[in-house]
A = this chain, B = another copy of it.
Amino acid sequence: MEYRVLPEIAKLGHVAVVSTDLEKSLWFFKEVVGLEETEEVDGVHYLRAWGDFEHHTLSLTAGDESRVEHIAFRTKRPEDVGYFAELLEEAEVKVEKVPAGVEAGQGESIRFQLPTGHNFELYFEMDQTPADPSRKARLKNQTYKAWRKGISPRRFDHVNIATNEDANLIIDFLVEKLGFKVREYFKLPNGATGSAWLSVTPLVHDIAVMSSPDVKSSHELHHISYFTDNAQDILRAADILTEEGFKFIGPGKHGITQAIYLYIIDPGSGIRLELFSNSYLILEPDWKPVEWSIEEAEFAVTYWGEQTGGASELDKPTINAGGEMSIKI
């Protein structure tokens, strides 16, 4: 009896962001949001939340154009990175191999583009760098002391990507090539899937996909998201942000995901951040994707609270999440 398994993705890992105003982005993510900096290597600042276990969940570097350089997922097993490379190449997806150490803390990885041009990365090896002693939690199961500054979310939660092409180009790829499961989705009047929330974990989504002809390109990032333990933390975040002079959308509660939310733009890079709490877990192995019609959209998107998805200026910007990848074979 011989076993052979398909490669699997374990979780969302991190997002690599290029900012036209790095100093402001660092102030925003470190002082206002309250992320911790693991280290700075060659101009790249590696950040994470106090409850994140990996070396980083967000990297920030300076550049001429604000963009997402790549969105990275961690595989379940070391060998899965190579297996994914094989499977993707068999499917005629161009795969770049990135040597260990190119990204601080990270082992060998592969990078490739979704059919829409979104840049993805898969890796397994990643340092679980301990916090430096002055910031290290007394709790052995927690990386940093919480509540040291700013909003202080617990951990990285999900990404939301957008395209002006057919969402199914992305959804099908995520499901068929990468093993994601659709958890909730909008069904368009023509029967096709509009937006979808997908995950490999019991989180309702590790990644969401939205499409609209109004999106700036085929490969945009709508937002990244960090999670707080309690809904009230989102209200505290609203106080902190308002006192710093920020405008934002929320707080509110999504029908889809059941999450308490607040959306805010990093004034350095223009990247949108969702602060996210509560939500629910899908532990059922035979979960039937929850289908929402367009008629239900208002309820599904904004169960209550300040509306997102509307005409607000704050609701418009997305960030290029594709284009040329920095590492070539």
Contacts and interface: CB of A to CB of B under 8 A. Distances in A.
Interface of A: 1-6, 10-11, 51, 53-54, 74-77, 124, 128, 137-142, 145-147, 149, 154-155, 184, 201-204, 229-232, 235-236, 238-243, 245, 248, 250-253, 255-258, 260, 278, 280-281, 283-285, 290-292, 299-300, 303-307
Contacts of A229: 231, 278
Contacts of A278: 229-230
- Which of A74, A155, A239 has most chain B Cβ within 10 Å? A239
A236 B1 CA distance: 52
Contact of A284 (B10, B241, B245): B10
29 contacts: A1-B4, A2-B2, A3-B3, A5-B5, A10-B283, A10-B284, A53-B284, A74-B284, A75-B285, A77-B285, A138-B243, A138-B245, A139-B243, A140-B255, A140-B300, A141-B204, A141-B280, A142-B258, A147-B236, A147-B239, A147-B240, A201-B281, A202-B202, A203-B281, A230-B230, A241-B304, A250-B305, A305-B305, A306-B307
A284 to B, nearest CB: 5
Q: What number of copies of this chain does the assembly contain?
A: 4
Nearest to A128: B284
A226 to B, nearest CB: 14
Contacts of A305: 238, 250-251, 305-306
A296 to B, nearest CB: 8
Given A146-B243, A285-B74, A305-B238, A258 B139 contact: yes
Contact of A306 (B51, B292, B306): B306
B141 A258 contact: yes
- Which of A75, A149, A283 has most chain B Cβ within 10 Å? A283
Nearest to A5: B3
A237 B142 CA distance: 17
A122 to B, nearest CB: 13
A283 B230 contact: no
A142 B304 contact: no
Contacts of A155: 280-281
Contacts of A54: 284
A236 B3 CA distance: 48
Contact of A242 (B74, B203, B281, B303): B303
A141 B184 contact: yes
Contacts of A76: 285
